[in-house]
Amino acid sequence: MVRSRSLQRRRLLAAGLAAGAGAVLPKSLSAALMPTPRQTPGPFYPLRLPLDSDTDLVQVAGRGQAASGAVTHVFGRVLDAAGRPLAGARVEIWQCDAFGRYHHPGDRGGRADPNFQGYGRMAVGEDGAFRFRTIKPVPYPGRAPHIHFAISGRGIEGLTTQMYVAGEALNARDGILNRVRDPLARARLIVALEPASEVEPGALAGRFDIVLDERFVPG
């Protein structure tokens, strides 16, 4: 019964996000097609992928309690430089939990939240759209809040990048973010997270479109 309710909830959330994605498409096509800057994958990409690697990082299969943190829906599209969706591309995300800890043996900060999946992946459809239910990223020593993204697929040279949160004071001091010298390019990595009660009560949501440079996609 619990699994049935969870599946129904995920389907409803997916439908809500799909509708929302169409409503907030960027108005400036030229700005939307600026390639997404590359960023380091960092040291905490999972050494072993969790058994539950779906798009809902807040609820881990087999656990009755949800992850700590503010539920956040992140969605967008994977596009080439001409604005064409990259159907079949795989999108992976990973991030620390609400206490700043990763599910990785190299993170010595303590045990990560067992109710937080920490990693998710999906293959985009014909429209290039992806969506994840996760938590609002939090800072940890030396880093502004961020979510890691990796894009891969047949004929695609992999892209790894990071998504940051608009309005975070630590953005101005984050060395990795500020390696992107061009302010317009740097802005491509910063996403406003807005209340999204129409999608899920009390949740946040933000759109992060990922544009691959033409050199890294099939011809």
- The domains of the chain are located at 2-216
The tens digit of pLDDT for each residue in 28-56 reads 444 448 999 999 999 999 998 888 999 99
**Contacts of 90 by beta carbon, 8 Å cutoff, 6+ apart:** 121, 122, 123, 124, 151, 152, 153
- Predicted confidence band of residue 22 (pLDDT cuts 50, 70, 90): very low
Confidence of residue 144 (pLDDT cuts 50, 70, 90): very high
| pLDDT value of residue 21 | 47
Q: Are strands 156-165 and 194-195 parallel, antiparallel or unpaired?
A: unpaired
pLDDT score recorded for residue 190: 98
Residue 133 confidence (pLDDT) above 90: yes
pTM, to two decimals: 0.85
d(CA 149, CA 206): 14
**What is the overall mean pLDDT for the chain?**
87
* Euclidean distance between CA atoms 215 and 54, whole angstroms: 29
pLDDT beyond 60 at 212: yes
Would the pLDDT of 217 be above 60? no
**157 falls in which pLDDT band (50, 70, 90)?**
confident
Region 51-62: what's the mean pLDDT?
A: 94
Is residue 9 scored above 80 in pLDDT?
A: no
Position 26 scores a pLDDT of 41
Which pLDDT band holds residue 109 (cuts at 50, 70, 90)?
A: confident
At residue 48, the pLDDT reads 86
pLDDT score of 145:
98
Pairing state of beta strands 204-207 and 194-195? Answer: antiparallel
Q: Sign of dihedral through CA atoms 176, 182, 187, 189?
A: negative
- Token pair in block for residue 132: 């994840």
CATH fold of 2-216:
Protocatechuate 3,4-Dioxygenase, subunit A (2.60.130)
Report the share of the chain in percent with pLDDT over 90.
74
